[in-house]
Structure 1
Amino acid sequence: MTFSLIARCPRTGQIGAAVTTSSIAVATRVPFCAAGIGAVLTQHRTDPRLGPRGLDLLRSGCTAAETVAALVASTPHEGWRQLAVLDAAGCTAHHHGAKVKPERGVAHGPGVVAIGNILASEQVPAAMLAGVLGAPEAPLAERLLLGLEAGEAAGGEHGKVTSASLMVVWRETFPYVDLRIDLSPAPLPALRALWQAYAPLADGFVRRALQPDDAPLI
């Protein structure tokens, strides 16, 4: 009951994830990102332990494909798991467990992978991919949000989504963007409004951490 995507911006090196689902507070369970390292999505019958484990594998030098293989080998319940991984080079890989419910799908592109389960249409991942790739000059957070919106327009999942999240990591150990809608009858419009409010402030929050004497009042 989830559709999501992870991507790397080749211009900035930013890495990010966006996800929406019909259950509450999806940001706490599905997306995991680390600056300069990569990103992991763990969904369907979600095991959030696989996210940090995947990032550790990427830090150790594993590729996206090697990370997925190791995660699958590490869990006795791989049949219930749906995974996607992006490494620092922009390579991607995924896993659909045999018990992941249809319609399930995935679409890979340059530096991006879109994935979903219990989808209304098998076209949803391809639509998400097109949404991301169709705005190459936009900030990564905007492109990720466009991908989610395109997935919803293509049918989204069976049932109504209620939560969504948008995360981008960049040069620091803390996220550049970390926005979430935990419970809403319309989480994607709410996430869009939250991003539009946050976007002009994002650089200022970073300056508060790095250069507090010269940081803007926000």
Structure 2
Amino acid sequence: MTFSIIARCHKTGQFGGAISSSSPAVAARCIQAKAGVGVATSQNITDPYLANILLDMIKYDLAPEESIAELVKNTDFIEYRQLSVINSNEKPAAFSGKHALGVHSQCIGEHAVGAGNLLENEDVPKAMVDAFHQATGSLAERLMIALQAGFAVGGEAGPVHSAGLLVVDKLEWPVINLRVDWSETPIEDLYQLWKVYEPQVEDYVVRALNPLSSPSYGVPGDE
């Protein structure tokens, strides 16, 4: 039903994730991130609140593995969930409950975690993590390369229809939050959307922080 990758950039301090699913609007439910804290996912039979709980735990100095262990120990219906979490400097962590759907697997790398359920094959998460660590460029670019790699080796067992890309930096709000909520080619569409937005990311940050020096894009009413 879903495959995702979350990651950190050890050079910039950014956190982010990319995800795709046969379900609509998957990114609205499954990935949460907080600048300076980390990024987490809750997927499979999704409880979006669980990703926020994981972020709260790592914010107050629980390691990713400890935070997932505590959540697993104290949460109803946890065996229906698939979770992953990353903070700034410790080993990432993941959990797949025994009721995760279909072929499911996870892969924990140095700076990234891949996970999926109802997969075409169990190699999808590893393909994403390997592609992320081999890629160059911004965190968002590497996440998109990783998501495409997961899709290329099989992705979900059926067609996917939605995808999303989320990145947080030093601000309270995400600097990148792009979604394709329903499409026959959501990953391709998302990558095209990202390439349109990529050269404008920093300019929109400037617009928020200092409108006096913000650039114009020549849209109606934009001076």
Q: Check whether the contact 1:30–1:51 (CA below 8 A) recurs between aligned residues.
A: yes
1:170 Cα deviation after fit: 0.5
What is the one-letter code of the residue matched to 1:177? I
CA distance in 2, matches of 1:200, 1:51: 30
State the TM-score, normalizing by the size of structure 1.
0.97
Query: One-letter code of the match for 1:152?
Result: F
CA offset at residue 62 of structure 1?
A: 1.0
Segments of structure 2 that go 5 or more residues without pairing to the other structure are: 218-223
1:1-218 aligned within 5 A = 1-135=1-135, 137-218=136-217
Higher alpha-carbon deviation: 112-121 or 97-106: 97-106
Confirm or deny: 8 A CA contact 1:208 1:215 kept in the other structure: yes
Counterpart residue type for residue 193 of structure 2: L
Partner of 2:220: none
The 8 Å contact of residues 8 and 90 in structure 1, kept in 2 or not, is answered as no
User: Residue 163 of structure 1 aligns to which amino acid in structure 2?
Assistant: S
**Using the alignment, how far apart are the partners of 1:24 and 1:74 within structure 2?**
30
What is the distance in 1 between the residues matched to 2:187 and 2:101?
23
Distance 1:52 1:82 in 2: 14
Query: Partners of 1:129 and 1:166 in 2: how far apart?
Result: 16
Q: Cα distance, 1:90 vs. partner?
A: 4.8
Instruction: Confirm or deny: 8 A CA contact 2:63 2:90 kept in the other structure.
Output: no
How many pairs are equivalent?
217
- Partners of 1:46 and 1:39 in 2: CA distance: 16
CA contact (8 A) 2:10 2:88 kept: no
Alignment partners' CA distance in 1, 2:61 and 2:38? 11
Q: TM-score normalised to the size of structure 2? A: 0.95
RMSD between aligned alpha carbons?
A: 1.0
1:174-218 Cα offsets, whole Å, 9 max, x none, are: 111100000001000100110000000000000011111111113
Runs of 4+ with deviation above 2 angstroms: none
State how far apart, in whole Å, the 1-side matches of 2:91 and 2:214 are. 36
Q: Distance in 1 between matches of 2:146 and 2:134?
A: 9
The answer to whether the 8 A contact 1:43-1:83 is kept is yes
